[in-house]
Structure 1
Amino acid sequence: MDGITFLGGGSFGTALSVMLSKKGYEVLIWDRKKETADDINIKKENIKYLPKILIPCNVKAVNDIEYAVRKNKYIVLSVPSHVIREMCRKIKPFLQNDQVIINIAKGIEEESKKRLSEVIREELPLNPIVVLSGPSHAEEVALDIPTTLVVSSNEMKYAEEVQDIFMASKLRVYTNNDIIGVEIGGAVKNIIALAAGVCDGLKFGDNTKAALMTRGMSEIVRVGIALGGKLDTFYGLTGMGDLIVTCTSMHSRNRRAGILIGEGIPKDEACKEIGMVVEGITACEAFYELKQEKGISMPITNALYNVLFKNADPVQEVSNLMKREKKCE
């Protein structure tokens, strides 16, 4: 049984580490912070990112990235999307060509507008790359609450390997050969979840949430197909599934940040209060620029961008959305 290394001691990576350790895998977590590694090794708890979850003894943590990379065949990138390229460059000197890179971050690179698997491929051209995505809050995965995920790759034999690794009694993993759709669905849903939180912060109701999610789904499909994804993918786990869980749950950092913004708290203060990266903010800016370049209609993304980056009044932006020219669904 090959071991697994997680690069980044965040909540989701830690939750998956706990799950894999219960299957008998030896798991290594690398984190740049000594206190995180000490908490995992000594207190058997990731106090900052996944408190009150017991971490089994076959999960170890280190601060030595060379050791962490050389130790195991499977390398999981469990860092935020905006540092994926930096992390790939950092680990490249220590990698062997047969090591499999598994990305669990959701988003696109803000500057290049490239999908994360494309970024990884540019930096690590010789390694197999697998994307793991789907509706999965770390807090629930760690508690063995039934969850489903999807894996994709340009080389599906590696996706099937990763499927076998992560399948468990409470974690069901599907394969999907549409890596573009899987990545785009997982990235754009963060924008809609952030917008859903803003609506919650404004004290709008269920009707508004249903409208936002439904029309948000249309935006996911529209941009996803324009970028080469397949329609069916967006009605699966990484599209509709991820959208539902992030728009409705208080586990969702994007929704929670949106609530604060809807209540009038500036986005930087909202992110500080959340205490973790709010991917929807970066995604909103990136997809706003992308839709401008490619002429894709994304009115919800446009409205959220105005709120986040132009200090627009969210109530007025909702009014603008409602008053747009009439159209057929």
Structure 2
Amino acid sequence: MIPLTPKYATMHSVISAWARCGLVDVKASEHRGNRASLLAFDHTLGGYALRLSERVFHGAISPPEIVDFHSHVPLHASFMTALQGFAWREQLLSRTQGRDPIAMGIRRHGLVEAETLRKCPTCVKEDQAKYGCAHWRIFHQWPVARHCVVHGDTLTSRCADCQAPCVRRNEPSLADDPCAVCGSTRLEIEHQDVPTGYWPLLQLLYRALQADAPEVSALVRAHPLLACRPAACSTASSSTRARVSLQKMLSDWNAASVDHLSCRLGAARVWTGDLGHRRSTDQCPLYVQAAALVAEAEPQPSCSESRRSWRIPPPAVGKGGYAATDEGVGPADFAFL
């Protein structure tokens, strides 16, 4: 029986669920190539979608479903122009192998996913009730994420008994598996204070993942901090406005410097110099661009106000019996963005 899979489950999680049902052998030579396992491939940015659909899922999950619902492609494509995003998606849907230059450029800017796997306790319980197992979620793995954007819960990433981190392995793994080191099922929850800019950024990223954040498109955004270039800084008014925006962004993240902000956001680098350098922020990592957009936005309501309106709509069933449950909130729930 084909396992039902929630929308925005990671491809690692989807493959693991199929392997647990005996539908795919991740160590088979036709799947792993020269790798240790099919799970050793990086599927975070939609790579090998056509091959996965044909050889692993046998058409039960289509290439568009893989790219749109089980990768970070929609998030990163939202920050491009519509034409750029469409062209990238079409390349992914038709590419059987070879390197993706766009994905390579994204990875040079920083981590696509955190080094340790994260999960939400509420998502785990809901998945167990709906699917019989719990899945890793794409939006839990963002380097900047410390909470579930759907439920507001603190994400867990290590065993409470032996402190071993949850990490990706070449063997199938799901979010409700016991600790691979000691076998414990208890998880450590670290309650954290978050900076002012954290929740608006997380919710903006979640809307972008759902392709519902048109304001982040490279074609329409017009924010002085994102447009900060030497020419813009040459006039007093433009330079002052950009620097005020920069200070607000750093303040929102309790960051002492741009480098400090870069570390908080999980980016490899932000600017290679100060605001007068020839590199602008629209050439910087996605998370930095999003933080700049949030800094330029109108004043935000408090975190408790924004989270009171969260809801979980009913599941939608996709093609071929493939369940794509649209967990989360709709556009109206993000009134402050």
TM-score, normalising length: structure 2:
0.31
Question: For the pair shown, which has the larger CA radius of gyration, 1 or 2?
Answer: 2
Name the one with the larger helix percent. 1
- Considering Cα pairs closer than 8 Å and 6+ residues apart, tell me whether 1 or 2 has the greater RCO: 2
More strand by share: 1
